[in-house]
Structure 1
């Protein structure tokens, strides 16, 4: 944990500004009850499009909750209205997301959670772990070559030991205000009574036809003709309601031991094509961790994020640190679009940062940091030296090389690039001044495409992750040098998740909570939002509205339809290989203001901000 001074407490009692989302009448105040609170089911469906929908931005006075689905946001809102803490609200939000946004996160996956308790910053690690029976050959064929990526994803081998429930329980034991049991009421109610399928969930089903091949998922998400259920269809999940009811009563052990663990293990080990080794011992033995957060000075702020096994904070702060070492950019944003003057150094810094990421970063319980300290990667002198490599012309695809931030007892090889996907983000600040930034994932859309239902006859259930495909498929390079992020028994795979809390350097007061889904692009999305929101004079919503540009070292991808053709042409003229594609972030951001908070939700997803 990292110690901080107390933040400015937001003023109490005001009303939410809901813009044009027409949420009037939704925000019911639950009555306090012996169990914690009585959940008032909202009369709401997610927004009418899964494409780009402009968001108004939201001003609140005493607290704010931001999540990727209005039903989930409302659950957190009601918990805080009943006297719950930011941690309490995060639990309620995550349980509802398991139900209404099953393609992105859930109890079958893992999470990183950053908490500011009013005085100190904490980092709770609920990342999945490799089973003890997994080894470096997990994703290799009989000839020692990597198997097809999607074949690995849709298999039992990809499933890591889930950690979200264990992690939330650990945080709640210390920072919860309402009883654990009461926080499951929103998800249990919605699972029992049903919710309407949102456009985003429907589109995800359309895009993932292989999900229908899983017997449980096929019966739950698809009709008798094998077609994805339509938008607006009322979907009930009695199996998940039963599972969450038992977890509410017994805690996370209800999932990690007993009949639910047996069902999960059976689903993994009996996969018809590539079974995994996950065992009951793996499930029972999983422990969430509290790690030392990384808090990094940057300009006028201190940015706190997650340490390895996440690469998010280290990589995004390398990008921002290198850009800070370069001459100041006169015009970074013009008419709502990043300029080439900003994009070029951002993309070049990204190439260099991802080169370091591929060489050095892995689970810190298995991987030694350069020089014995992860902060060597963020040392100003090191980043200034790296920034000298950024020239007027691009260094080109695949030309960025790792630097030498500090000596290593064991040298690591650079990991070959492979896909990363998935995820959802939650940001919350409560009336006590406590703040949460939590990023949660099952990796791919619908994870491993394996659904577990607890072993009973009830419809529905929850999706199992495919997070083990975040490991390097190849354990060594051609010379036999080990890769830091290779598969090892009990190891957590490297992640890009970047839950972030920001503070003023001089006063220590809370400034912002933010984060995003998006695989490796989480790093770019979060870095761009930090830069725009804190240094470019735009508010939280405007920062989230900005079009995206990413590279992990090769091709530059610009968000399709969002940049002038001249921008593409100018970047190509600077030596970048440029393509356009959809870059579907899911950013949530809350920023402290003089009057309370101003929140933004990504226009590319269905999220909203609520608060008083």
Structure 2
């Protein structure tokens, strides 16, 4: 099988950044596309001189670009896109979920992290997912229970970011989503597949009711689906901001629904009304000649930064995507980073996260030195400041979406948003699904020796996340690239892949997101499709690849060029990049 292809075969021009920026020039040849990542009939990539949007559904992308064309900011567009995604892609994100965002201000050249992660209600405890005998609940039982739902934060986070960086009135950012909900939208093949899936949430009563037509048959691709309740919820949020969701009749509906049926939760009106998103400086760390900015803990930002820090002490940048040694280094750095993340990262308001130690150059050098010529056992390291914590038993399913936006002023949003699993908990209020985000906590709160897991549940605590939206800058803090992906715990590997492809292998965004995926965690190596010679070479390094069983990637990426922006969207999903 041919390992190399010229990028010209895909009609993708070589790209060079603006003067003074590290070059993303001379893209390397691309591996053969996996079957799931073959180029689709629709054009996923785009170039544009002024602004760019990349998101998981064309209807959402249109809503975002329309806002930008009307003079809106990147944050304005993010609000509009989230409102549409919650309607047309409810399996992944929505008004009842949470999000992390990194925002780049082109004028000040500062990167700010916004944290809209859900929180556990005041009535939660570290025994949240244990039965009366102290045994872990079956995962499906926990997901479908009211105990799985955390206080939603995505809308509150967007409200905060809009107050900081919005240009257009908040109330007008929901018009497109409201029209689609009222008049109906065409069910996409991906949504239809989720409706027909064996996921337990798809069979939950609320989901079955919503996705069943009057004749008793389920909605299929091409059907028109209307959601009057969603339009009414948008009307309230448009009028009152986040308080329209977290107080009043919608809040009461959330409380009532969470307290019903099996494993009722403890969310109260006070929990909802007291929710506050966070904002502060992004976690920006050097990677070669770049500066990579991600959210802080409890996001997946620290884990991604650890993986990049390890790879910086390898020669992966001198290799390319056709080199099996490059993928071996990639996988081993992933394993080391996952081991450290799983051991030490949790909500820093509750646990000591030894971030400085984990990202110290000397520590990363030591971890990189553990990468030999063959895969061997991997465990967590001992960075400076490491606390005594127990092992992690978090099970993290996927049901997430990513958005990248660059507005006409050069401001950038990279945002990952989620309801956690497919259709969240399967419970609906106001036309949207409630999250099952609390199942991102470790089900077993303590080690047999009594040491508490960093990601153990607690009242008011935010569960650890893998979401790691990234923005890349030059040393002078000029915008280079933005990227991110859904994918559950695999997000860290997906984001690492696209950053290595963009920054080290000099690929275009579409090439980078279309590369095969490789997720290495513990002793498990999963991938979608690689050429046979690479499979054989990795197996000889004690690294046999198995077919991935997890959520597919849904990568979005945008880079800056002298002529504007180039965007790419993952061919494994329905996303596109569009600009003007």
Structure 2 match to 1:584: 552
Structure 2 match to 1:216: 206
Shift of 1:236: 0.5
**Deviation sequence 1:198-237 (CA, Å, 0-9, x none):** 0000001111463454443222112357643111100010
2:271 counterpart of 1:282: yes
Would the aligned equivalents of 1:50 and 1:203 in 2 still touch at CA under 8 Å? Answer: no
Correspondence for 1:383 among 352, 364, 370? 364
Would the aligned equivalents of 1:111 and 1:163 in 2 still touch at CA under 8 Å? Answer: yes
The CA distance in 1 between the partners of 2:437 and 2:395, in whole Å, is: 13
TM-score of the aligned structures, taking structure 1 as reference length? 0.86
Q: How does 1:194-343 map to 2 (within 5 A)?
A: 194-208=184-198, 210-211=200-201, 213-223=203-213, 227-270=217-260, 272-310=261-299, 312-328=300-316, 330-334=318-322, 339-343=323-327
Correspondence for 1:357 among 341, 363, 366? 341
**Deviation sequence 1:491-536 (CA, Å, 0-9, x none):** 000000011110011x321001111000111111111101111121
The CA distance in 1 between the partners of 2:466 and 2:182, in whole Å, is: 34
Task: Name which of structure 1's ranges 509-518 and 322-331 shifts more when overlaid on structure 2.
Answer: 322-331
The CA distance in 1 between the partners of 2:342 and 2:508, in whole Å, is: 33
Structure 2 match to 1:510: 479
Structure 2 match to 1:24: none
SS of equivalent to 2:279: strand
Would the aligned equivalents of 1:540 and 1:589 in 2 still touch at CA under 8 Å? Answer: yes
2:452 counterpart of 1:482: yes
The CA distance in 1 between the partners of 2:319 and 2:380, in whole Å, is: 30
Closer, same or farther in 2 for the Cα pair 1:51/1:529, shift >3 Å? closer
2:383 counterpart of 1:405: yes
Would the aligned equivalents of 1:377 and 1:405 in 2 still touch at CA under 8 Å? Answer: yes
The CA distance in 2 between the partners of 1:81 and 1:205, in whole Å, is: 34
Q: How does 1:28-43 map to 2 (within 5 A)?
A: none
TM-score of the aligned structures, taking structure 2 as reference length? 0.91
Shift of 1:317: 2.1
The CA distance in 2 between the partners of 1:162 and 1:284, in whole Å, is: 11
Would the aligned equivalents of 2:37 and 2:570 in 1 still touch at CA under 8 Å? Answer: no
**Deviation sequence 1:30-77 (CA, Å, 0-9, x none):** xxxxxxxxxxxxxxxxxxx99854345211001011110000000010
Shift of 1:329: 5.8
Runs of 5+ consecutive residues of structure 1 not aligned to the other structure: 1-6, 10-48, 454-460
The CA distance in 2 between the partners of 1:217 and 1:367, in whole Å, is: 36
Shift of 1:258: 1.0
Would the aligned equivalents of 2:513 and 2:570 in 1 still touch at CA under 8 Å? Answer: yes
Closer, same or farther in 2 for the Cα pair 1:525/1:328, shift >3 Å? closer
Closer, same or farther in 2 for the Cα pair 1:60/1:235, shift >3 Å? same
Task: Name which of structure 1's ranges 526-535 and 99-108 shifts more when overlaid on structure 2.
Answer: 526-535
Correspondence for 2:82 among 94, 104, 122? 94
Structure 2 match to 1:80: 68
Task: Name which of structure 1's ranges 242-251 and 218-227 shifts more when overlaid on structure 2.
Answer: 218-227
CA RMSD of superposed structures (Å) = 1.8
Closer, same or farther in 2 for the Cα pair 1:190/1:572, shift >3 Å? same
Correspondence for 2:150 among 123, 142, 160? 160
Q: How does 1:58-77 map to 2 (within 5 A)?
A: 58-77=46-65
Q: How does 1:34-183 map to 2 (within 5 A)?
A: 53-54=39-40, 55-118=43-106, 119=108, 120-183=110-173
Would the aligned equivalents of 2:414 and 2:471 in 1 still touch at CA under 8 Å? Answer: yes
SS of equivalent to 2:502: helix
SS of equivalent to 1:243: helix
Task: Name which of structure 1's ranges 592-601 and 579-588 shifts more when overlaid on structure 2.
Answer: 579-588
Would the aligned equivalents of 2:44 and 2:576 in 1 still touch at CA under 8 Å? Answer: no
Would the aligned equivalents of 1:192 and 1:238 in 2 still touch at CA under 8 Å? Answer: yes
2:502 counterpart of 1:528: no
Closer, same or farther in 2 for the Cα pair 1:198/1:556, shift >3 Å? same
Runs of 5+ consecutive residues of structure 2 not aligned to the other structure: 1-16, 20-34
Would the aligned equivalents of 1:329 and 1:341 in 2 still touch at CA under 8 Å? Answer: no
Task: Name which of structure 1's ranges 411-420 and 377-386 shifts more when overlaid on structure 2.
Answer: 411-420
The CA distance in 2 between the partners of 1:84 and 1:529, in whole Å, is: 28
Structure 1 match to 2:30: none
Structure 2 match to 1:348: 332
Task: Name which of structure 1's ranges 410-419 and 85-94 shifts more when overlaid on structure 2.
Answer: 410-419
Shift of 1:406: 1.2
Task: Name which of structure 1's ranges 52-61 and 587-596 shifts more when overlaid on structure 2.
Answer: 52-61
Would the aligned equivalents of 2:199 and 2:422 in 1 still touch at CA under 8 Å? Answer: no
Correspondence for 2:462 among 480, 492, 498? 492
Structure 1 match to 2:393: 416
The CA distance in 1 between the partners of 2:242 and 2:254, in whole Å, is: 14
**Deviation sequence 1:125-172 (CA, Å, 0-9, x none):** 110000110001110011111111111111111000000111111011
Closer, same or farther in 2 for the Cα pair 1:204/1:521, shift >3 Å? same
The CA distance in 1 between the partners of 2:45 and 2:578, in whole Å, is: 10
Would the aligned equivalents of 1:218 and 1:226 in 2 still touch at CA under 8 Å? Answer: no
Would the aligned equivalents of 1:8 and 1:433 in 2 still touch at CA under 8 Å? Answer: no
The CA distance in 2 between the partners of 1:227 and 1:403, in whole Å, is: 53
Structure 2 match to 1:566: 533
**Deviation sequence 1:164-183 (CA, Å, 0-9, x none):** 11111101111100000000
Shift of 1:242: 0.5
